[in-house]
Amino acid sequence: MDFPPPVAAERSVVWEPTGDGRRVISLADSHILLWDLQESSSQAVLAGSASLEGKGQLKFTAGRWSPHHTCTQVATANDTTIRGWDTRSMSQIYCIENAHGQLVRDLDFNPNKQYYLASCGDDCKVKFWDTRNVTEPVKTLEEHSHWVWSVRYNHSHDQLVLTGSSDSRVILSNMVSISSEPFGHLVDDDDLSDQEERRPEEKSQEPPQDSVIATYEEHEDSVYAVDWSSADPWLFASLSYDGRLVINRVPRALKYHILL
Amino acid sequence: MAAVAAGPGPGSGPGDSPEGPEAEAPERRRKAHGMLKLYYGLSEGEAAGRPSGSDPLDPTDLNGAHFDPEVYLDKLRRECPLAQLMDSETDMVRQIRALDSDMQTLVYENYNKFISATDTIRKMKNDFRKMEDEMDRLATNMAVITDFSARISATLQDRHERITKLAGVHALLRKLQFLFELPSRLTKCVELGAYGQAVRYQGRARAVLQQYQHLPSFRAIQDDCQVITARLAQQLRQRFREGGSGAPEQAECVELLLALGEPAEELCEEFLAHARGRLEAELRSLEAELGPSPPAPDVLEFTDRGGSGFVGGLCQVASAYQELFAAQGPAGAEKLAAFARELGGRYFALVERRLAQEQGGGDNSLLVRALDRFHRRLRAPGALLAAAGLAEAATEIVERVARERLGHHLQGLRSAFLGCLTDVRQALAAPRLAGKEGPGLAELLANVASSILSHIKASLAAVHLFTAKEVSFSNKPYFRGEFCSQGVREGLIVGFIRSMCQTAQSFCDSPGEKGGATPPALLLLLSRLCLDYETATISYILTLTDEQFLVQDQSPVTPVSTLCAEARETARRLLTHYVKVQGLVISQMLRKSVETRDWLSTLEPRNVRAVMKRVVEDTTAIDVQVGLLYEEGVRKAQSSDSSKRTFSVYSSSRQQGRYAPSYTPSAPMDTNLLSNIQKLFSERIDVFSPVEFNKVSVLTGIIKISLKTLLECVRLRTFGRFGLQQVQVDCHFLQLYLWRFVADEELVHLLLDEVVASAALRCPDPVPMEPSVVEVICERG
């Protein structure tokens, strides 16, 4: 399958997360292009495009397709700004100015909560946004000591957030307070209420606290990508500059805590 | 022998005659003698005139009182021989003769005296007889006189009674005359305005008239009097109501009216109503002064006027009231208290309005003096009207004003601090515009510090006026305790230091992380300021405060150490932020330079790129800037190697040799391996790590950030052969000039090696430049 010759250097290409996988967006410098891949044809058809206008050279640095709203929303980052796009009209829906102090490196949508968006950037911070109210981040993490290159929600348990940074660390955080799962598994609690020895434990863990679960320091150089396994929700991998791919599991205790 | 003549004289009268026949009872006789002696108060020894050693009762003692001639003779006869008897007989005869002659001599000597005494007695007898006759005559005369007198008084008795009766009638008539004349007198008095006289007359007559009112004539008088009295009361009331006269006159009117028996309740009401009118007029005039228009008199004058006008009036009213209506008891006092409370409240409201106008002003001494007057003035009525609680209310107002002043001063200090910051900003911005050197940072810092300190001192001095001894309210518990500890120390000083720290910290949190909002030099300056506060100024200021305001209150106060810790934390955050901002500035420069260049088609390097020179220049500038305010700090021992300081060819080439292997044209795998092994032995570099308070640490932080950025940017690009060589040259250049700024030059080497290695990895044709050529280019550039 061919694409027409690019107008500018492609920054990234993102597939439609659900559906029949026929649509792809690509980010090229200041343009966002929506492609329709037709099976019958070997040619990709440009279904829509939009471009940034403003002074200076504006370049997209990251893009992400929202899995909600039947995949009609795309979020992009350029410099310190995060923008949301409607793919039907290719028009901007929201804009978070100065989302980060410096360049925004990566974005990810919460797979279970439709308006929640995580972003990370060169100011060493990871921020969580509610796209309905873009004036203030919902939550900010400052655990890394250098640029954060990648942020990923766990596909099924969205309190688990993975970040990779050029300080060579991967950090797994437990963002209970803004996850889609109810605090402390209220339903489960009722079932377990007769088991006396469990009660104090459960009690002591409430109220839930956002916390760093683990910091992985296996990498010797900057970590540029992290992602969750699509098969096993407790497995994740990280890749660093020196070519090292590290696969880790969510700590067992936490896993049981989330499951039980 | 004299004793014989005198001694038995008194005793021998009764005892001489029965001596002979009663010889058988000598005991009784002796007893009687003893009793007589006892009567005459003579001891027996004394009476005998002999030493008490010999027995006075010895009957054989010739001179003794109990001498018994028979016994004596018996004894002599029995005991003595004849010769001795004879001797004693002659002796006795001789003695008797001597005695006889003595007696004769005495009689002869005193004979004349006996005769004259006898003559005198005879004459006296004659005189007394004459006198007796005269006395008899006198008695007779007296009896006659008594008789006459009785007769006269009997005659006059009748007349005397009539005179007494007449005198009584006369007095009664005079009283009656007074009563009959009373109406006219009263009228006259009323006409003349001698109300006091009139009331006195009336008072005198009232009881009598009351008593005899059943008699028609008296009734008429009483009626007349009542009419006149009513008129009098009317006039008095009139005068009272007109009220033009002062409080004392009014008080007099009321007193007279009370004497006229007017109902006290009503008078009391009316009196208060009048007083209210007057005081309200005072209040109105005060209010008028307060006015909406600005030309109000100064606050001292205002409180003075209020004090003398209103408070003085209130005092007069209160004292007059208490004198006049003392009989009213607690209800009257309550009424007065309510009256004072209400008017006092209005007065306070006015004073507070006036004081509120003063809040903005800066002159504390005037305010304190005004408050002092105000407070002092209200003490008198406070004592008079304890129930109205005016003094408490006044104290409360003073306290509130003091509190507000503290707030005002805190605000003033804050704005002074902000003003200082603005000045600093301007000073920092100015030289860039004018293109010449402005005042140095150290100077600015000193200016800011001294200006803040002087502001603090001025505020302390101003606030201190509130606790001056001569100020009447300074001994109130609030001013002795809470004001000093909670108000001044905690509220003002600690509050200010805290707010200073907060203001400073807010520069760290400003969203303008891109560095535009706050000039970095300001951050640096503030950081140093906070650090100075931590080390010295805070404890100095607090000691000063504690000295000036001897804190007696035991309430907990913020310890110096807590404040110091806060200041230190602020200083640390500011410095870290400074590092971030400066690092970011250089990072941006480096990033732009890497991102905007087309590295694939670049020409063979001839020069160090200008941006690198700029980076070194900026770093040097930062070094100078930081050096103005912070100490040098400690480098790792190896950097003190003098050979490196001289940029000798040797040292450069040695460095060259050290990282040469990383970009020798070998297989990429080797490079990778080498770099990995190298990293295994080097420490992980924490890029945005907290900094210490010294120049080296600050510079290290900035350089770390910059080089890490360079590294990350290089990794995103693809390099041609010459591109790689350019990076090589640039890195060597940076290495030449940056090592001296950092604590551990190994760090610079490591990062720059990493940059070159990364560039080599991103290069399809990695042919490095000869180290000697690199050196030459760098030396030249």
Minimum CA–CA partner of A224 in chain B:
B712
pLDDT exceeds cutoff 90 at B683? no
Cβ distance A221 to B679 less than 8 Å, yes or no, reads: yes
pLDDT band at A47 (very low <50, low <70, confident <90, very high): confident
Distance of residue A110 Cα from the nearest chain B Cα, in angstroms:
26
* Chain A interface mutation, best of B669, B673, B682, B684, highest count of A Cβ atoms under 10 Å: B684
Cβ distance B675 to A243 less than 8 Å, yes or no, reads: no
Gap between the Cα atoms of B466 and B474, Å rounded: 6
- Among A86-100, B371-385, B504-518, the range with the most confident prediction by mean pLDDT is A86-100
Instruction: Render pLDDT for B230-263 as a digit per residue (tens, 0 to 9).
Output: 777 777 777 776 655 566 666 677 777 777 666 7
Contact yes or no for A167/A224 (Cβ under 8 A): no
pLDDT band at B147 (very low <50, low <70, confident <90, very high): very high
Q: What is the pLDDT of residue A134?
A: 85
Please identify which residue in the block is written with the tokens 């030493």: B51
Cβ distance B689 to A145 less than 8 Å, yes or no, reads: yes
Give the distance from CA A95 to its chain's centroid. Answer: 17
B189-193, B297-301, B435-439, B495-499: least confident range? B435-439
Minimum CA–CA partner of A98 in chain B:
B511
Contact yes or no for A167/A146 (Cβ under 8 A): yes
pLDDT band at A150 (very low <50, low <70, confident <90, very high): very high
Q: What is the pLDDT of residue B641?
A: 42
Segment B79-104 shows an average pLDDT of: 90
Cβ distance B687 to A242 less than 8 Å, yes or no, reads: no
Cβ distance A242 to B680 less than 8 Å, yes or no, reads: no
B49-63, B273-287, B312-326: least confident range? B49-63
pLDDT exceeds cutoff 90 at A151? yes
Position B714: which residue type? V
- ipTM entry: 0.80
Minimum CA–CA partner of A166 in chain B:
B712
pLDDT band at A258 (very low <50, low <70, confident <90, very high): confident
Please identify which residue in the block is written with the tokens 């209210």: B276
Is the model more confident about A58 or about A98? A98
Residues of A with CB under 8 A from a CB of B: 98, 101-102, 123-124, 145-147, 166-168, 217, 220-222, 241-243
- The CA–CA distances, whole Å, from B14 to B24, B58, B60, B71, B557 equal 17, 21, 22, 22, 115
Instruction: Render pLDDT for B370-397 as a digit per residue (tens, 0 to 9).
Output: 777 777 777 666 566 666 677 777 778 8
A9-23, A87-101, B66-80, B766-780: least confident range? A9-23
pLDDT exceeds cutoff 70 at B638? no
pLDDT exceeds cutoff 70 at B359? no
| Residue-averaged pLDDT of chain A | 81
pLDDT exceeds cutoff 50 at B10? no
Gap between the Cα atoms of B97 and B102, Å rounded: 9
| Residue-averaged pLDDT of chain B | 75
Which chain B residues have a beta carbon less than 8 Å from that of A146?
687-688, 708
Q: What is the pLDDT of residue B179?
A: 78
Is the model more confident about B291 or about B480? B480
Minimum CA–CA partner of B672 in chain A:
A242
Contact yes or no for B560/B539 (Cβ under 8 A): yes
Q: What is the pLDDT of residue A239?
A: 92
Is the model more confident about B599 or about B664? B599
Q: What is the pLDDT of residue A127?
A: 92
Q: Is the whole-model pTM more than 0.90?
A: no
Is the model more confident about B438 or about A100? A100
Q: What strands lie across the sheet with A148-153, from one edge to the other?
A: A148-153, A160-165, A170-174, A211-216
Q: What is the pLDDT of residue B167?
A: 93
Contact yes or no for A260/A202 (Cβ under 8 A): no
DSSP-derived secondary structure letter, B172: H
Segment B706-732 shows an average pLDDT of: 87
- The CA–CA distances, whole Å, from B357 to B290, B310, B365, B377, B385 equal 9, 20, 16, 21, 29
Q: What is the pLDDT of residue B120?
A: 92
Gap between the Cα atoms of A194 and B218, Å rounded: 109
Cβ distance A145 to B679 less than 8 Å, yes or no, reads: no
Cβ distance A145 to B675 less than 8 Å, yes or no, reads: no
pLDDT exceeds cutoff 80 at B708? yes
Cβ distance B688 to A145 less than 8 Å, yes or no, reads: yes
Which chain B residues have a beta carbon less than 8 Å from that of A242?
672, 675-676, 679
Instruction: Render pLDDT for B690-703 as a digit per residue (tens, 0 to 9).
Output: 777 888 888 888 88
Report yes or no: B758 at the A interface, CB cutoff 8 Å.
Answer: yes
Closest alpha carbon to B722 in B590, B558, B603 = B603
Report yes or no: B448 at the A interface, CB cutoff 8 Å.
Answer: no
Minimum CA–CA partner of A79 in chain B:
B514
Cβ distance A220 to B680 less than 8 Å, yes or no, reads: yes
Q: What is the pLDDT of residue B148?
A: 93
Tokens of A174: 């437990």
Segment B426-445 shows an average pLDDT of: 65
Candidate from A101, A147, A243 with C-beta closest to B712 = A147
Closest alpha carbon to B542 in B474, B463, B499, B485 = B485
pLDDT exceeds cutoff 50 at A190? no
For chain B, which residues make up each domain, given as ranges? 406-427+440-580, 597-631+689-780
Percent of chain B with pLDDT over 70: 76
pLDDT band at B576 (very low <50, low <70, confident <90, very high): confident
Closest alpha carbon to A115 in A50, A181, A67 = A67
Contact yes or no for A150/A223 (Cβ under 8 A): yes
Cβ distance A146 to B688 less than 8 Å, yes or no, reads: yes
Q: What strands lie across the sheet with A139-141, from one edge to the other?
A: A104-109, A116-121, A126-130, A139-141
pLDDT exceeds cutoff 70 at A171? yes
Instruction: Render pLDDT for A119-133 as a digit per residue (tens, 0 to 9).
Output: 998 888 899 999 888
Q: What is the pLDDT of residue A163?
A: 93
Cβ distance A146 to B687 less than 8 Å, yes or no, reads: yes
pLDDT exceeds cutoff 90 at B18? no
Distance of residue B306 Cα from the nearest chain A Cα, in angstroms:
56
Cβ distance A167 to B715 less than 8 Å, yes or no, reads: no
Q: What is the pLDDT of residue B163?
A: 92
Percent of chain A with pLDDT over 90: 17
Closest alpha carbon to A33 in A81, A87, A82 = A87
Minimum CA–CA partner of A99 in chain B:
B511
Report yes or no: B678 at the A interface, CB cutoff 8 Å.
Answer: no
Q: What is the pLDDT of residue B709?
A: 87
Segment A77-98 shows an average pLDDT of: 87
Q: Which residues contact B370 (CB under 8 A, 6 or more apart)?
A: B299, B300, B302, B303, B304, B355, B358
Gap between the Cα atoms of A217 and B323, Å rounded: 94
Cβ distance B511 to A167 less than 8 Å, yes or no, reads: no
Minimum CA–CA partner of A59 in chain B:
B595
Closest alpha carbon to A148 in A132, A172, A170 = A170
A36-45, B171-180, B357-366, B564-573: least confident range? B357-366
Distance of residue A109 Cα from the nearest chain B Cα, in angstroms:
25
Candidate from A101, A102, A241 with C-beta closest to B715 = A241
Report yes or no: B669 at the A interface, CB cutoff 8 Å.
Answer: no
Report yes or no: B120 at the A interface, CB cutoff 8 Å.
Answer: no
